Structure 1
Amino acid sequence: MRDDKGAVFRALHERAGAFLIPNPWDVGTAKFLAALGFEAIATTSAGYAFSRGRPDGGVPFDEMMAHCRELVAAVDLPVSADLEKGKGDTPDSAAETVFAAEAAGLAGCSIEDFSGDEADAIYDFGLAVERIAAAADAARALRRDFVLTARAENFLHGRPDLDDTIRRLQAFEKAGADVLYAPGLSTIEQVKTVCSAMTKPVNVLAIPGFAMSALVEAGVSRVSLGSKLTTAAFGAVEAAAREMLDQGTFEYARKGTSFATLQALFSA
């Protein structure tokens, strides 16, 4: 792996087709996914919060950065981070977020326009754009490559306005973001519309019912999983618990990754 993992990460977005970036929530899952052959990983704010028994958005910035440093140290892959709104609400805080991310060894990060307050969920357009512009300026001032993803959060917070989402993503693109991302899109038509409106790479949150091939055909460059692996893991634990409590059986144990496989991986 080259020393400049930001450059490696950027190159993944520039090749033909799309790549899949999974979202581990701790060191063990990061190492496991790296061993399975993924080319990059990204943190999940919700997944890490749930693993700590907290709600999404309930992890302080400094603790999230410590988590990022752990994952960077655990794998020899580019690591990007879901840093939610970053250190604060201002453009300066968005820039500080990028500097902190680079210092943690991250190859990139995402910054979103969700304010953290459901009562007033989405930053005003002007402020949202200023925040991404400041973050982009900070990223370009770094000594190594760094991939900035700008997120438009309308669809996750009760504002399924595709026109406004595209307007925001286009403004983020013009402000200097490297990758554009609108989590919560639910149809291929929405994905195609977003991708056709951008000139830079688009990340899409995996959509159940649609294969990677369909997303590639729609114009996507990167597919992420968000908290989906975390909720799948919790789902497996829930199914196992229900079987034991309701049926008194332990058949779930036949489906898990073997102890020997994990012991060998983590002993290497």
Structure 2
Amino acid sequence: MSTFRQLHYRDSPLVLPNAWDVGSALAFADAGFPAVGTTSFGIAASAGLPDGGGSSKAATVALAARLGRMSVHITADVEDGYSDDPAEVAEFVAELEVLGVAGVNLEDSRDGHLVDASTAAAKISAVKDLSPDIFVNARVDNLWFGEHATVEAVLLRARTYADAGADGIFVPGLVNPEDIRRITAVVALPVNVLAHPSLTVAELGDLGVKRVSSGSLPYRAAIDRAVDTVTALRDNRQAPTATSYWEMQARLVAFSRASGN
């Protein structure tokens, strides 16, 4: 089995599905994905909370504790590390590593705004000092929040995080092919983008992308399909097919037994 790090250095991009609970993670693993991430939006929304501001911290830890027992690699979306103190962030990530987590996403923003790059870099450095084997995917949020939203500004932050010890660079909101090519040509680390309907995974790979995350898309699509399912029933249309109760139950029973529950 390839290590989580090795999955970022293949000919084709790593497609990373992002789960919001055990059931979704098991389904992704059963579909053959070698690694599964968590989504802070999906986790927060499942609890009736808006994304950001640390709202998903407790649920993320609880989910990581369960998913870490799976046979696939797990990487956790931990927002900005839930603290301004690099030492506290490092200790938090170290606790996740003990639970079986192979990687984390660390954002360089808070409450929808960029923080100073040196602040994010200090967290990355502290995490790598304490947990050198953890794959730190440093998220550069210039384009996502529309602040200093230029390729040059993204590259400046990416270099800072690479120097701090990051293992990958995540640029959500990066969708323009020419911008993608410019960034991947300069950044030596694996570049991660969010899936977008305008580009296939193969096309992103041709542009130099090494990881494509689904983000909250599966959660949002699942909600849409759930609504479509019940409206079909209400409107006397044929109900859509779905994985059987028995197949999903068997998956959960196997996981529960393997986990010692």
Question: TM above 0.5, one fold?
Answer: yes
Q: What amino acid sits opposite 2:195 in the alignment?
A: A
Q: Which residue of 1 aligns with 2:247?
A: 261
Kept after mapping to 2: 8 A contact 1:87/1:96: no
Distance 1:209 1:222 in 2: 16
The alpha carbon displacement at 1:210 in A equals 1.1
Asked if the contact 1:133/1:176 (under 8 Å) is kept, the reply is yes
State the match for 1:201 in structure 2. 190
**Whole-Å separation in 2 of the counterparts to 1:55 and 1:97:** 22
**1:240·1:250 contact (CA, 8 Å) conserved in 2?**
no
TM-score by structure 2 length? 0.89
Amino acid at match of 2:136: L
- Alignment length, in residue pairs? 252
CA distance in 2, matches of 1:194, 1:101: 30
Name which of 37, 41, 44 aligns with 2:39: 44
Structure 2 counterpart of 1:158 = 146
Q: Distance in 2 between matches of 1:181 and 1:128?
A: 13
Q: Aligned residue for 1:4?
A: none
10, 18, 24: which one aligns with 2:19:
24
The equivalent residue for 2:62 is: 66
- Residues 39-69 of structure 1 show CA distances to partners (whole Å, capped at 9, x for unaligned) of 1101111111112221112525233211211
Structure 1 segment 17-166 matched on structure 2, within 5 A: 17-57=12-52, 59-73=55-69, 75-115=70-110, 117-118=111-112, 121-140=113-132, 145-159=133-147, 160-166=149-155
- State how far apart, in whole Å, the 2-side matches of 1:235 and 1:70 are: 27
| Aligned mates of 2:85, 2:187 — CA distance in 1 | 26
Q: Aligned letter for 2:55?
A: V
| Structure 1 residues 60-103: Cα deviation after superposition (integer angstroms, max 9, x where no partner) | 52332112112222x21110000001130122233223212212
More displaced stretch, 79-88 vs 95-104: 95-104
8 Å contact from structure 2 (residues 60, 76) kept in 1: no
Correspondence for 1:217 among 184, 193, 206: 206
Rounded to whole Å, the distance in 1 between the matches of 2:153 and 2:92 is 25
Deviates further, 207-216 or 63-72: 63-72
- State how far apart, in whole Å, the 2-side matches of 1:136 and 1:154 are: 23
More helix by share: 1
User: Are residues 132 and 233 of structure 1, via their aligned partners in 2, closer, same or farther at CA, if it must alter by over 3 Å?
Assistant: same
Contact 1:39 1:78 in 2 (8 A): yes
Deviations 1:14-59 (A, max 9, x none): 2322121101111111111111100110111111111222111252
2:117/2:160 contact within 8 Å kept: no
Q: Structure 1: where are the runs of 5+ without partners?
A: 2-6
Other-structure match for 2:257 = none
Shift of 1:152: 0.8
Partners of 1:236 and 1:10 lie apart in 2 by 34
